[in-house]
Structure 1
Amino acid sequence: MEKTTSQKIRLGIFVIIGIIIFILAVYFIGDKQKMFGKTNHLNAIFNNVSGLQLGNNVRYSGINVGTVRAIEMINDSTIKVDMLIDNAIFRHIRKNAVATIGSDGLVGNMIINIIPGKGTEASVAPGDKIQSLSRIRTDDLLNTLGVTNKNAALLTADLLKITKEITEGKGTIGLLIKDSILATDLKETVHYLKITGKGTSESVTKLNRLISSLDNKENVIGVLKDTAVANNIKTVVQNLDKSSTDINKMVTNLNATIANIKDGKGALNYLSNDPKLVQKIDSTMSNISQASSLLNENMKALRHNFLFRGYFKKQEKAKLKEQKK
């Protein structure tokens, strides 16, 4: 059947429209793949491309700037990825930029993200190689989540077992919850601990006050810390020591004199014939001897007293040094 002119015109229009649509599709796809614009090559080395394919997008700071041109397997742990980058963006990429592989959304295609470099590094040149960073893959995340779920299940089972034993009154915590007598005893113990802590705090406060009052000149320790009082005490002790020595000498001489009198020697011989006078002299000598003994005991007590012990030790050391000389 011969076609009419209107049918031929319709067919021609249909074919022309199809060709225009095809050309537009090729143009848009090529433009998206950076096939018609000015581009430069940029390389990156990965140890795992995580399902990256040819034609996947390359993004720089979140902007699509190119596509994956080639993926080359160099060895078992090195994969080279060749990227076509738009020339307008190429000069903004620095040599210390880092390339990472991620996904476009949760379930989208894999893409390459180029993280901008910091500092004043120079821009990359065509064919340069930038650093790469391998992120955690989804499989690794799922494996980790699987292990975490198993551990969570074990922890949940153990927790259920523990809570069941507690509710049944087993173990220390169960006894504390179920046993009312033990709970009462525990409350009393805590109450006594509070009282003890309060008393300890008050004792520490009093002790601090006592320590701070040691520097007060109105008490004994404060007086001893005064240099003027210490010098006066040293003078008194020296005078007492000297007086004790003189009294000892006097008592010795007096004893010798009395012995001479008893033996009938000296001008006082006639006194020995008077028994009453002798008794008075004997009584006087006894009193003097007792006073001397008491004074010696007082001096010994002073030597052992903590206030004067240091002074007598210094005197003994000085005497030893003089004897050695």
Structure 2
Amino acid sequence: MEATDTRRKITVGIFIFIGLLIFVLGVFTLGSQKKAFVKSFLVKVVFDDIQGLKAGDNVWFSGVKIGTIKKIQFYGTSQVEVTMNIEENAHQYIRKDAAASIGSDGLIGNKIIVIDGGNPKVPAIEDGDRIRVNKTLSTDEMMKTLQVNNRNLVDITTDFKTISSNLASGKGTAGALLSDEEMAGNIKSIVANLQSTTIATNKMAAELRTFSHSLNNKQGLVNNLVSDTVIFNRLKSSSYDFQRAAQSANAITANLNTASAKLNDTNAPAGLLLNDQQTTEQLRRIIENLESSSYNLNEDLKALQSNFLFRGYFKRKAREAGDQNKK
């Protein structure tokens, strides 16, 4: 009986010992996960919105867990102050200008605080310091943005569906281009004309290049005109001669205009002869009288030649004239 009680007590003692051992191991395990037995210091940060953070959530630095959230309390009128327990071995990497932001452990994981170490030239942070907030888009804001983008994508898809339907049915200019064979033929004709125009333009450009090369030829006329001073001076002299000839022609023209004006003037003798009918008639009579007088004078001379008084004189004149002709 006593042996049975002793064995039962030993068994109970063993179970109690095993239970205590498991409890101690559990405490140490949980303590190591929560960094309960690691030397740490406190850092504070004030957020406008903690987005569901709670005490015990993790604090990360460069992707490594360096602490946990110790306490959350309201600050001021509408802000929230978060106190963090940071491991001492991360002390030297966090500077006074460090910034904290709220993230998540995965896409839909637990909320965490992510610390940016800051500028290495700035002194290290001290126990109880408050760091600034790094303004970044939260997960909720990202989801809102994605929702807006999704709605915009739906609208774009709907519009594209409408456009593609109009194109398929031949509506609008683009639809007509795709479905109207006559318009397609016109476009092909336009493209062909553009190609021929391009070929002609290229040919013209080549001819212009050839012509410009010929102008630059040292043996050519243009180059001689530009560079040969003798030819240039000759051309200059010829230009002056042309100018003088033009001036002379202008003077002659002016004189002719003046003479023409005088011919039309009845006060001038020539104008009177050309324009006065009475004077013209008188001149005609004078000319007729002169012709009649000349005829009568010739008859008188013939009569004188027949007269015996002047017959010897006229014969002598005839002999003298014959002698002059022989000489």
The TM-score range, normalised by the shorter chain, is: 0.5 to 0.7
Contact persistence 2:75–2:81 (CA under 8 A): yes
Deviations 1:265-308 (CA, angstroms, capped at 9, x unpaired): xxxxxxxxxxxxxxxxxxxxxxxxxxxxxxxxxxxxxxxxxxxx
The DSSP-based 3-state class of the residue aligned with 2:93 is coil
Whole-Å separation in 2 of the counterparts to 1:183 and 1:238: 61
Contact persistence 1:223–1:229 (CA under 8 A): no
Shift in alpha-carbon separation, 1:111–1:217, aligned structure 2, 3 A: same
Whole-Å separation in 2 of the counterparts to 1:66 and 1:186: 72
Q: 2:276: which partner in 1?
A: none
The DSSP-based 3-state class of the residue aligned with 2:74 is strand
Contact persistence 1:46–1:133 (CA under 8 A): no
Unaligned runs of 5+ in 2: 249-327
Whole-Å separation in 1 of the counterparts to 2:172 and 2:240: 78
Shift in alpha-carbon separation, 1:231–1:164, aligned structure 2, 3 A: closer
Alignment of 1:48-197 (within 5 A): 48-197=49-198
Whole-Å separation in 1 of the counterparts to 2:9 and 2:217: 127
Larger radius of gyration: 2
Contact persistence 2:70–2:84 (CA under 8 A): yes
Unaligned runs of 5+ in 1: 248-325
Whole-Å separation in 1 of the counterparts to 2:213 and 2:48: 73
Deviations 1:55-94 (CA, angstroms, capped at 9, x unpaired): 1111111111111112232135533222111111111222
Counterpart amino acid of residue 74 in structure 1: Y
With CA pairs under 8 Å and 6+ residues apart, which has the higher RCO, 1 or 2? 1
Whole-Å separation in 1 of the counterparts to 2:172 and 2:84: 66
Whole-Å separation in 2 of the counterparts to 1:188 and 1:231: 52
Shift in alpha-carbon separation, 1:229–1:115, aligned structure 2, 3 A: farther
Whole-Å separation in 2 of the counterparts to 1:109 and 1:203: 76
Contact persistence 2:59–2:112 (CA under 8 A): yes
Alignment of 1:212-223 (within 5 A): 213-223=214-224
User: TM-score normalised to the size of structure 2?
Assistant: 0.65
Whole-Å separation in 2 of the counterparts to 1:208 and 1:238: 31
Shift in alpha-carbon separation, 1:66–1:203, aligned structure 2, 3 A: same
Deviations 1:184-208 (CA, angstroms, capped at 9, x unpaired): 2221211111111221222233334
Identity %: 34
Whole-Å separation in 2 of the counterparts to 1:175 and 1:114: 60
Counterpart amino acid of residue 8 in structure 2: Q
Task: Return 94-103 or 210-219, whichever deviates more.
Answer: 210-219
Shift in alpha-carbon separation, 1:235–1:140, aligned structure 2, 3 A: closer
Alignment of 1:192-203 (within 5 A): 192-203=193-204
Q: 1:323: which partner in 2?
A: none
Over the residues paired in the alignment, what is the CA RMSD in angstroms? 3.1
